[in-house]
Amino acid sequence: MPERSVIIGSAQGLHARPAKIFVHIAAQQPVPVSIRVGDRAPVPANSILGVLSLGAAQGTEVTLSADGDGAAEVLDELADLLSRDLDAEEPDHASTTQP
């Protein structure tokens, strides 16, 4: 199963707005994606409560994993998203162009 590790870039961490953006885009992907912090159990990336429960602050390393056709590309897209400061971006620019 492919994985990507990424450092959370949002100034306030993966809290309400960045988590909402991430979960929305993760839910649109053609493969299921999970996210975890350290050795903790992974949570579904399309679950807002699961993602918020991670308590991932700015600078926290998270690991994304996915399985299926196109998983590597999905992980690259989501890792890029999490590495950015989503709080500093305009709402229209925070999402990616892929469905």
Q: What is the pLDDT of residues 43-98, one digit of tens each?
A: 999 999 999 999 999 999 999 999 999 999 999 999 999 999 998 886 654 555 44
Exposure string for 6-26, b = 16+ CB within 10 A, e = fewer: bebbbeebbbeebbebbbebb
pTM to 2 decimals?
0.88
The residue annotated as part of the active site, out of 15, 18, 33, 37, is 15
- Residue 77 has a CB neighbour count (10 Å cut-off) of 19
Give me the pLDDT at residue 94, please.
Answer: 54
- The domains found in the chain, sorted by start residue, are 3-88 (3.30.1340.10)
Crossing angle, helix 71-83 and helix 16-27, to 10 degrees? 170
Instruction: Verify whether residue 93 is a known catalytic residue.
Output: no
Measured between alpha carbons, how far is 86 from 39 in angstroms, rounded to an integer?
25
Give me the pLDDT at residue 80, please.
Answer: 98
Give me the pLDDT at residue 93, please.
Answer: 46
